[in-house]
């Protein structure tokens, strides 16, 4: 029983981390029709900026804010100067350009911070454990990650479903040509969505940094997992990204614990293929 509780919490923690990355990625795919392979680089940039600020100030809050602000700015500049020229281009052009951005961000990060991984300490107030059940404790910091991820999910849900900007985002995801014809400034909307998506990826990167090695290329593997999340959940759906991320978290975590290594690495892709067999557009796609 304790094993199930522990692995469920680990699954939830992984799921909410993936959601923070997948939420921005699914909006970019769904609204802008942009295949952005470099989205994982924003996760990496956020982790590097956060680790640097944490080392200098010993303030985790400042590290979070700095990581999100700096990465959001990088995302905004990338969209304004380069990516907005790709919206009407062939998907292959988008793939090639954003793959080039991965190389650019990786090498720029290596030039600035070097090739040696950076450490980042957990906040001093969150280094302990919380008793979940008799004889079972769980790290406080991991519980905070879960709470923060769920809080962001709730905020995004209300933002998308109950606000004017959310209505614009849903309109752009459903039919951006009609939305533009009705007077929506799609260029400004795209820039805002892209910057927010980059900042959310950075939030995940900063929170993950104390648990991982902050190193060049750390966003590449997590991008693949977040892509699986939005394929399962449906392109353009934040709700789908959340459900897909939770499914991915549970399948990956329990798979690593219960299945042989080879099968564990394949498990989430098998689940994704099964879901797509019955729901080719994903569970909650805004398309089709």
Mean pLDDT (the chain) is 88
- 75 with 206: CB under 8 angstroms? no
**256-271 pLDDT, tens per residue?**
888 888 888 899 999 9
**108-150 pLDDT, tens per residue?**
999 999 999 998 988 888 888 888 877 788 899 999 999 999 9
For residues 69 and 92, the model is more confident at: 69
Cα separation, 112 vs 106, in Å, equals: 10
| Mean pLDDT, range 1-24, rounded to an integer | 89
For the chain, what is the domain count? 1
Query: Could you tell me what percent of the chain has a pLDDT over 90?
Result: 53
Q: Kindly tell me the sign of the dihedral angle through the C-alpha atoms of 194, 200, 203, 208.
A: negative
**52-78 pLDDT, tens per residue?**
999 999 999 999 999 999 999 999 999
Assigned token pair, 20 = 């923070």
| Mean pLDDT, range 74-103, rounded to an integer | 90
Q: Kindly tell me the sign of the dihedral angle through the C-alpha atoms of 263, 266, 268, 269.
A: negative
Does 26 fall in a domain? yes
Does 146 fall in a domain? yes
Domain that holds residue 133: 2-217
Does 186 fall in a domain? yes
Does 58 fall in a domain? yes
**162-183 pLDDT, tens per residue?**
888 878 777 766 666 776 776 7
Is 12 a residue whose pLDDT tops 80?
Answer: yes
The predicted pLDDT at position 288 comes to: 44
Going by the DSSP 8-state scheme, the letter that residue 152 receives in this structure is H
Q: How far is CA 85 from the centre of its chain?
A: 24
* Confidence class for position 84, pLDDT limits 50, 70, 90: confident
Does 260 fall in a domain? no
Residue 253: CB partners within 8 Å, gap ≥ 6? Answer: 7, 10, 11, 14
Residue with tokens 């929506």: 184
| Mean pLDDT, range 98-115, rounded to an integer | 94
Cα separation, 121 vs 215, in Å, equals: 15
Does 281 fall in a domain? no
pTM of the entire predicted model: 0.90
Cα separation, 169 vs 114, in Å, equals: 39
Tallying the residues shown for the chain, one arrives at: 288
The predicted pLDDT at position 176 comes to: 67
Does 165 fall in a domain? yes
């Amino acid at each position: 029983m304790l094993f199930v509780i522990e692995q469920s919490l680990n699954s939830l923690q992984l799921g909410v981390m993936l959601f923070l990355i997948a939420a921005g990625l699914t909006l970019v795919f769904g609204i802008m029709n942009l295949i952005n392979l470099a989205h994982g680089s924003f996760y990496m940039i956020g982790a590097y900026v956060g680790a640097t600020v944490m080392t200098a100030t010993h303030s985790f809050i400042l590290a979070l804010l700095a990581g999100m602000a700096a990465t959001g700015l990088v995302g905004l500049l990338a969209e304004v100067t380069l990516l907005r020229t790709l919206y009407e281009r062939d998907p292959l052009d988008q793939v090639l350009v954003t793959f080039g951005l991965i190389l650019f961000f990786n090498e720029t990060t290596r030039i600035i911070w070097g090739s040696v991984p950076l450490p980042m300490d957990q906040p001093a107030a969150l280094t302990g454990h919380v008793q979940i059940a008799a004889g079972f404790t769980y790290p406080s910091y991991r519980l905070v990650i879960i709470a923060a991820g769920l809080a962001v999910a709730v905020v995004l849900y209300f933002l998308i479903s109950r606000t004017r900007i959310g209505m614009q985002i849903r309109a752009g995801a459903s039919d951006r040509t009609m939305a533009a014809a009705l007077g929506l400034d799609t260029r400004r909307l795209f820039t805002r969505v892209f910057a927010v998506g980059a900042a959310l990826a950075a939030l995940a990167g900063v929170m993950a940094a104390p648990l991982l090695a902050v190193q060049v290329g750390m966003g590449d593997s997590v991008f693949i997992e977040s892509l699986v999340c939005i394929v399962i959940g449906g392109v353009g759906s934040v709700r789908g990204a959340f459900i897909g991320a939770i499914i991915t978290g549970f399948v990956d975590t329990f798979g690593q614990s219960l299945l042989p290594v080879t099968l564990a690495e394949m498990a989430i892709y098998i689940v994704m293929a099964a879901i797509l067999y019955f729901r080719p557009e994903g569970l909650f796609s805004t398309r089709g």
